[in-house]
Amino acid sequence: MRKALVAGNWKMHGSRSVVAELLDALADGVADMSGGPDMAVLPPFLFVPAAADRLTDTAIAVGAQNVCDQDDEGAFTGEVSARMLKEAGCRYALTGHSERRALYGESDELVAARTAAALRGGIIPIVCLGESLSEREAGETDAVVQRQLRAVVDAVGISGLAGAVLAYEPVWAIGTGRTASPQQAQAVHALLRTYLRKRDAVIGDGMRILYGGSVKPDNAAELFAMPDIDGGLIGGASLNADAFLAICRAAG
Ligand code: PGA
């Protein structure tokens, strides 16, 4: 049985005061929740220590939105290593978010190298995969997500993926209010699971595959009801504690 995970990707949002308020609301709200899925928030790097501090002894873990591909400290301006993230209290890190791929030119190979470094450093990577609208319209969805996944499998080996989580995020559904239908999402999730199962049945069956892209309290339950959707990666709605916790409850 796979335990669902709901992670809130705060992207580049927040300020000290806004983050403090959001963390208080999350800590209070989650205290009344029993059971539920695994939960995490992924603030901008600067707010990770505050989040780790405030959420200690709650059911909500903390993660980062990226991780360096290098293990050792050194001349890598602008990067943060897995060791540093771990020391700051992170359990998870995103790799390959479509905004990193599209806006900052991260290649499949760099995403794979970041994923491998996270795993070596004891951080659980949440590896994001997804096609753009033009790729979907050209019928390339399956080829694109398999290519993105293959690069990661090539870098860490199929058994290396045991410590990872995948997130399918169709780019056309991110921040657009346009969600993939449960059936559209399920089809890609099943494809990804089959890809992994062919290489290792245990890894394939055990892999948590999250859906991301305009998940809201009112559409979460029907997405999470699909057999191969194991939780969600939540952007906009994760900036509101009530909305985020409602989505978490839908995954419980
Ligand atoms: P969204 O973002 O929920 O605002 O669509 C999801 C994501 O980019 O992870």
97 is catalytic: yes
Domain locations along the chain: 5-251
pLDDT of residue 19: 98
Q: What is the mean pLDDT of the chain?
A: 97
Per-residue pLDDT for 237 more than 90?
Answer: yes
Cβ count within 10 A of residue 50: 17
Tell me the pTM.
0.98
CA distances from 175 to 18, 133, 236 (A): 20, 13, 7
169 is catalytic: yes
Distance from Cα 17 to the centre of ligand 1, integer Å: 23
pLDDT of residue 122: 98
Using the atom order of ligand 1, give the atom closest to the CA of residue 176.
Answer: 5
Contact between 70 and 81 (Cβ < 8 Å): yes
Nearest CA to ligand 1 atom 6: 235
DSSP state of 91: S
Using the atom order of ligand 1, give the atom closest to the CA of residue 174.
Answer: 5
- The active-site residue, picked from 97, 99, 131, 189, is 97
Distance (Å, whole) CA 243 – CA 249: 10
> Mutate which of 214, 219, 240 to test ligand 1's pocket (most atoms within 8 Å of Cβ)?
214
Ligand 1 and 215: CB distance under 6 A: yes
The predicted-structure confidence for 136-157, as pLDDT tens digits, reads as follows 999 999 999 999 999 999 999 9
The predicted-structure confidence for 47-74, as pLDDT tens digits, reads as follows 999 999 999 999 999 999 999 999 999 9
> Mutate which of 215, 219, 244 to test ligand 1's pocket (most atoms within 8 Å of Cβ)?
215
Instruction: Decide: residue 15, CB within 10 A, 0-12 exposed, 13-18 middle, 19+ buried.
Output: exposed
Contact between 41 and 240 (Cβ < 8 Å): no
pLDDT of residue 35: 87
Q: What is the mean pLDDT of residues 27-41?
A: 95
pLDDT of residue 212: 97
Domain 5-251 - what CATH class?
A: alpha beta
Give the residue ranges of DSSP H helices in the chain: 16-31, 48-55, 82-87, 98-103, 108-120, 133-137, 141-156, 182-199, 201-206, 217-224, 241-251
